[in-house]
Amino acid sequence: MLTKDHAIFIAKKLNAEIRSKSAHDIAVITYGGKRIAQFGIRRGSNKNQGHNHIPNGVHMTAHDTLLLAQCTISADEWFEMMKRKGFIEVSAKNTASR
């Protein structure tokens, strides 16, 4: 199960911009100035409350999302996965940076 701690770690790892909303914060991940992923981080004090919505937000399986949180998958590897999956546009002329 993914927890609030996992959510915060993934957000930091992927250099997400945290936007405050009413019930939770939104972690927005951009690449080359374009939003490519986002997920919510609940503000509740229960750190063990499930954050099982994160895999959909970061375009990965639950297992791979846990590996991302546990450092098995690096941020660079995640960005490469997003390129392969088509969430990041790759052109021969422009190789945008995060």
The tens digit of pLDDT for each residue in 7-27 reads: 999 999 999 999 997 778 999
Confidence (pLDDT) at 51: 83
Assess whether pLDDT exceeds 70 at residue 94.
Answer: no
Reported pTM: 0.85
The C-alpha atoms of residue 31 and residue 34 are separated, in whole angstroms, by 5
- CB–CB of 66/9 below 8 Å? no
